[in-house]
Structure 1
Amino acid sequence: MVVLRIRSSHKRKCMFICLCIAVFIVYRHLDLSRAGQGTSRKVGLSANSSQFTLEGEPFRILGGSIHYFRVPRAYWRDRLMKMKACGINTLTTYVPWSLHQPQRGVFNFHTQLDLEAYINLAAELGLWVILRPGPYISSELDLGGLPSWLLQDRSMRVRTTYPGFTEAVNTYFDKLIPNLVPLQYKKGGPIIAVQVENEYGSFAKDEGYMHFIKEALQSRGISELLLTSDNHNTLKSGGVDGAIRTLKLQKVNQRDVQDLKAIQPNRPTMVMDYRTGWYDVWGDLHHVLPPEDMVSTVREILRRGMSVNLYMFHGGSSFGFMSGGLAEPSYKAFVPSYDYDAPLSEAGAYTQKYHLLRDLLSQFNNGDIFPDMPVLQHREAYESAITYQHLSLWDALSFTEGPFKSVKPVNMENLPANNRNGQSYGYTLYETTITSGGLLKSGDNVKDRALVFVNRSYIGLFKRQNMELAVPDGKGLQTLSLLVENCGRVHRGRDLDKQRKGLVGDIFLNSIPLQDFTIYSLEMKPGFIDSLYQAPWKALPETPTFPSFFMGQLFAYGYPSDTFVKLPGWEKGVVFINGINLGRYWSIGPQQTLYLPGPFLNSGINQIVVFEEQEGDYKVNFEDTPDLGMAADVQ
């Protein structure tokens, strides 16, 4: 027998080499199996033939939209894993300028708005990414995702080459785009394409605008495939040279597809927004698209060899005041839920659409095995919270920003609030003194609703269909107050420049314009809600005054679960949990519950604050199922 004696130094070298080989094999495996982690890429997504290619190989985009800003960050991984398990290979997301730059010179790319982390997570889970950075995105957001401080400029012309707008876009892109350049496909990242603006064909006020946006992206280092997205009748006016055109639709029409192919022959055909459902507005019904209709349309798209992106795959929630409004045929505001009747529900639950879609996509998966479907989160019907404390709006005014003095009314955007960036969302209170009663006329200068008070007693409501109020006579000087709510700037249309809120002009009493206003900004940010804990709350009286804040407590022992807030007997207002704005509620529906994600709760005591405008039941219910209202099929 021959015994080999290996010196310890050689032994350590051998072990080190073996370890290096093992590490190389593991990382090589991850490199090959994960989208977004390649290191030797030269040819990205290409549209130079009738079919997309990626790294020179045929590639079909099976995309789905999930917006990071509508999903609690703690649930990003869960939602993307469910997307991957359904057979989707590409994540698409809009980027909301209004949230990332709430004030001039103030940028937010952290926590809930950490876009880089979201894209890297998609890569980790094996998803490619199509980025839609705007600057305008629509998406049923207030002002289509444009920041409201743009409207401080009375001459502003958004979505054009007006210098005030292009300068603002350049400043924003200087912050946004450099963070995204390293995440592109040819640099080893998951971003395979970038959309230039959004459905500009329906706006099309400036022939040079789309070229400006394209150059703004490319000059900052965007080098992957560019695309545009429009409805079939605006494809020509919405495109730009050097970017492939794509369609938005809800049903496949042969003529629409032929029109697209005629505009760009020998190029891939893609439905960039196949609408899996629809949005909801206050005072209407909850819109749904039958599952069989969705699946048959997706099947037809795939049968034709086209690529597709599902808008939405998972809608999530428009927390806070980010929801916009609908301009036509008449103004209506969007509800906070962005469930969209999508394959994944607002709370991330599997729907019939999800299961049918997963079965369908399994037929087009080239033999790949889909990951297992993640287990659903537990949902809890917590014990109702009884509001036990009460704070009148008038007693909360000392905690607001202001007051501001002005001879004439000042619209929200031009108030000297938020470091002179104006007020974006929420309510604004305008107060002045009057010496007599009479006929009060708004002249359509109230945007969008106003509760009217004399000496802090409610006398009536101004809204778009109600522009006159009788003011009772009184003795001596009286205080006239108008609590004006921005219900949401419209998200699309050719009048975005005119979407100023608050009092946008004179209010007349007996044909004489009112003057000398004291103005309070009630944007209701988390800091304001937190500050209210120091306010002079009182025990809930038998007949509380309105508008008021009501406080209660939710007890969630152990690991908090998702739940749904329901407020039967309350009229209209806003719900805050631990300072987080869940969104508006309104008795007119259709939405009857607000989604409360478990990550928003603490184990133990949670503070609930309800701002109610007119009538309260003083009890907050928590249910384990959502109620989005009476349903009607999308027409």
Structure 2
Amino acid sequence: MPVLDTDGGEFTLDGAPFRILSGGLHYFRIHPDHWADRLRKARLMGLNTVETYVPWNLHQPRPGEFRFDGGLDLPAFLDLAAAEGLHVLLRPGPYICAEWEGGGLPSWLLTDPGVRLRSNHPGYLHAVEGWFGALLPRVLDRLATRGGPVLAVQVENEYGAYGDDTSHLAHLAELLRRHGVDVPLFTCDQPGDLARGALPGTLATVNFGSRARQGLAALDELRPGQPKLCAEFWIGWFDRWGGRHVVRDAQDAARELDELLATGASVNLYMFHGGTNFGFTNGANDKHTYRPTVTSYDYDSPLDEAGDPTAKYHAFREVLAKYAPPVAEPAPAAGPKLPAATVQLTESAPLLADLPVLGTAVPALRPLTMEELGQDFGFVLYKAVLPAAGPALLEVGAVADRAQVFVDGQPVGVLERENHERAIAFHVPRAGAVLRLLVENQGRVNYGEGLHDRKGLHGPVLLNGAELTGWTSLPLPLDDLGELSFTGTASPVPGPVFHRGTFHVDEPADTFLHLPGWTKGNAWVNGFPLGRHWSRGPQCSLYVPGPALRPGPNELTVLELHAAPSHRTARLLPHPDLGPTEE
């Protein structure tokens, strides 16, 4: 592979002028069996490069434990990109934002109460050095200087929106160089943050979604005469629970792309293909009010969540053909989908009855946070004994992020961080009644100071003004449901219940799970975690990748946190429902 040069007024590749035409495509948001397909479609749209972040929290779930297998096999993804003739912009963070859980920073960093993320705090830097020491040797052979596809590597991510400690960026850059990264390094920031986030001696790039000339002018003012790259050209946006599905008109986005490319600048489309926040991996924002991101990361991209070309794909393909040799091959067609089907969920397993197979409770005077329990994702079930009967007022320091409250197994209410709720009143039927709070991590904050987002119950818990002590904290990551005890009973059970059913597939293909009448929870197909469902919307379906299915019988499991509909059915349909739109 040729080597990128950033020293002149334009990019060159082995001495020849080169324009980066890139698109974001995150391997960790795509089933690995689909990587090759999505990369081929990037090339067929006219791109010559793809960009990906690297999620530290998935690759190092615990100190000293690293994963680069299956859907986290980054070297395999890079090799597939090279096989397709695509270059790569690699963005290893360590912080990535990406609307991803915790901005990609592993939750175990927060076990240190004094840690300062994205800083020169010794504990943080020590962890970053360990992470880069595991990651970078695996990608060195994929750098362009060694014949691989990786043209350039990003230092941190939009640091100017968070801080202005250039020494921290310099430390990260030195660490990359020390580990053998010898391709160009770059930073990226929004126009107003460029001066704070740029690093001397490193390529600066700019992020925006419109007004390209103004954005590029800000970059030129900071670094006159350097090559210009919009490292994130926002052609869509992400959704949050309780909002609307954000879309952007295809022709409007194509006009803005044309304006950008007419300046001679390079571009990375954010996103080319958004993919999915499978399982519990969505992030959240907290600008005085906590707002979790939905499961879908469709992002109104040129390729939709199922990898099918959209109107934006075709509009962008036309624009790109004006600035690079047009692709001779035809545009790809939509992929096959399963025919519509109804799934009967005939078996149930109440969560509160299956606790011994889901985790081990930890006793303490007070409730323990997820981080203290060594837990990333999922739920924690807190339990204490109520000493007396009568009216009760329960007050907690903070809930992160949503607590369902039960007394002797009966639901008495919900506390939501999003609504700043910290107290609930109820009646205690007897002395010695059992209080349980099922607390859901709805996604760690991925942007701003809220990154220090510890999950569970915080602060003392007061009962009628006095501290309630003597707790157990049971981590429920729900990463293995194989030991659940399902029965065929149809009797209603208050509180969270797993429901299971089977359906037949002749030939696996993509589909979308619709859960009309269900309220809130999660879903799995053959053990593959599809993500969260919530009737508040906007998202009303979950993407089911075809490779998660198999010929013959398949198993659908739905966790319903409240009350399942009496019919206990789900629908598999060939189309998504991402909710009412907002432009």
Distance (whole Å) between structure 1 residues aligned to residue 182 and residue 572 of structure 2:
49
Residue-by-residue CA offset, 1:235-259 (whole Å, 9 max, x unaligned): 0111112211111101125433222
Aligned residues: 578
Which residue of structure 2 aligns with residue 603 of structure 1?
551
Which residue of structure 1 aligns with residue 582 of structure 2?
632
Residue-by-residue CA offset, 1:334-358 (whole Å, 9 max, x unaligned): 0010000000000011110001111
Distance 1:376 1:256, change over 3 A: closer
Q: Does 1:483 align with 2:483?
A: no
Aligned pairs for 1:391-402 (under 5 A) are: 391-402=349-360
Distance (whole Å) between structure 1 residues aligned to residue 303 and residue 238 of structure 2:
15
Q: Which has the larger radius of gyration?
A: 1
SS in 1 for 2:196: helix
Report deviation, 1:375: 4.1
Of residues 588, 605, 615 in structure 1, which corresponds to 2:563?
615
Distance (whole Å) between structure 2 residues aligned to residue 70 and residue 495 of structure 1:
23
Of residues 418, 423, 432 in structure 2, which corresponds to 1:468?
423
Of residues 364, 370, 386 in structure 2, which corresponds to 1:412?
370
Of residues 171, 191, 196 in structure 2, which corresponds to 1:232?
191
Q: Does 1:592 align with 2:544?
A: no
Q: Does 1:564 align with 2:500?
A: no
Report deviation, 1:545: 2.9
Question: More deviation in 141-150 or 613-622?
Answer: 613-622
Report deviation, 1:587: 0.3
TM-score (norm 1): 0.89
Report deviation, 1:468: 2.2
Distance (whole Å) between structure 2 residues aligned to residue 186 and residue 146 of structure 1:
29
Report deviation, 1:374: 3.5
Distance (whole Å) between structure 2 residues aligned to residue 494 and residue 543 of structure 1:
43
Distance (whole Å) between structure 1 residues aligned to residue 540 and residue 531 of structure 2:
12
Distance (whole Å) between structure 1 residues aligned to residue 327 and residue 562 of structure 2:
55
SS in 2 for 1:491: coil
Distance (whole Å) between structure 2 residues aligned to residue 368 and residue 446 of structure 1:
54
Which residue of structure 2 aligns with residue 502 of structure 1?
456
Q: Is the 8 A contact 1:160 1:205 kept in 2?
A: no
Aligned residue type for 2:58 = L
SS in 2 for 1:505: strand
Percent of paired sites with the same residue: 39
Q: Does 1:426 align with 2:374?
A: no
Which residue of structure 2 aligns with residue 13 of structure 1?
none
Distance (whole Å) between structure 1 residues aligned to residue 288 and residue 253 of structure 2:
26
Distance (whole Å) between structure 1 residues aligned to residue 328 and residue 131 of structure 2:
39
Distance 1:307 1:253, change over 3 A: closer
Distance (whole Å) between structure 1 residues aligned to residue 428 and residue 115 of structure 2:
42
Question: More deviation in 89-98 or 375-384?
Answer: 375-384
Which structure 1 residue ranges, 5 or more long, are not aligned? 1-35, 416-421
Distance (whole Å) between structure 2 residues aligned to residue 442 and residue 59 of structure 1:
61
Which residue of structure 2 aligns with residue 160 of structure 1?
119
SS in 2 for 1:313: strand
Distance (whole Å) between structure 2 residues aligned to residue 569 and residue 495 of structure 1:
34
Distance (whole Å) between structure 1 residues aligned to residue 301 and residue 312 of structure 2:
7
Which residue of structure 2 aligns with residue 517 of structure 1?
471
Q: Does 1:105 align with 2:64?
A: yes
Which residue of structure 2 aligns with residue 56 of structure 1?
15
Aligned residue type for 1:552 = G
Q: Is the 8 A contact 2:382 2:436 kept in 1?
A: yes
SS in 2 for 1:234: helix
Distance (whole Å) between structure 2 residues aligned to residue 440 and residue 381 of structure 1:
51
Aligned pairs for 1:140-539 (under 5 A) are: 140-204=99-163, 206-328=165-287, 330-365=289-324, 367=325, 369-415=327-373, 422-436=374-388, 437-464=390-417, 465=419, 466-497=421-452, 499-525=453-479, 528-532=480-484, 535=485, 537-539=486-488
TM-score (norm 2): 0.97
Q: Does 1:579 align with 2:527?
A: yes
Report deviation, 1:205: 5.5
Q: Is the 8 A contact 2:409 2:495 kept in 1?
A: no
Q: Is the 8 A contact 2:367 2:472 kept in 1?
A: no
Q: Does 1:545 align with 2:498?
A: no
Residue-by-residue CA offset, 1:350-373 (whole Å, 9 max, x unaligned): 1100011111111111x4544333
Q: Is the 8 A contact 2:338 2:574 kept in 1?
A: yes
Distance (whole Å) between structure 1 residues aligned to residue 326 and residue 235 of structure 2:
25
Aligned residue type for 1:270 = L
SS in 2 for 1:182: helix
Q: Is the 8 A contact 1:64 1:92 kept in 2?
A: yes
Report deviation, 1:444: 4.3
SS in 1 for 2:170: helix
Question: More deviation in 241-250 or 433-442?
Answer: 433-442
Which residue of structure 1 aligns with residue 6 of structure 2?
47
Which structure 2 residue ranges, 5 or more long, are not aligned? none
Distance (whole Å) between structure 2 residues aligned to residue 270 and residue 288 of structure 1:
24
Q: Does 1:554 align with 2:508?
A: no
Residue-by-residue CA offset, 1:44-91 (whole Å, 9 max, x unaligned): 211222211110110000000100001111111111111100000011
Distance (whole Å) between structure 2 residues aligned to residue 407 and residue 370 of structure 1:
68
Which residue of structure 2 aligns with residue 29 of structure 1?
none
Q: Is the 8 A contact 2:409 2:494 kept in 1?
A: no
Distance (whole Å) between structure 1 residues aligned to residue 217 and residue 164 of structure 2:
26
Q: Is the 8 A contact 1:392 1:549 kept in 2?
A: yes
Residue-by-residue CA offset, 1:241-281 (whole Å, 9 max, x unaligned): 22111111011254332221111111111100001100000
Q: Is the 8 A contact 2:358 2:481 kept in 1?
A: no
Distance (whole Å) between structure 2 residues aligned to residue 110 and residue 623 of structure 1:
31
Aligned residue type for 1:553 = T
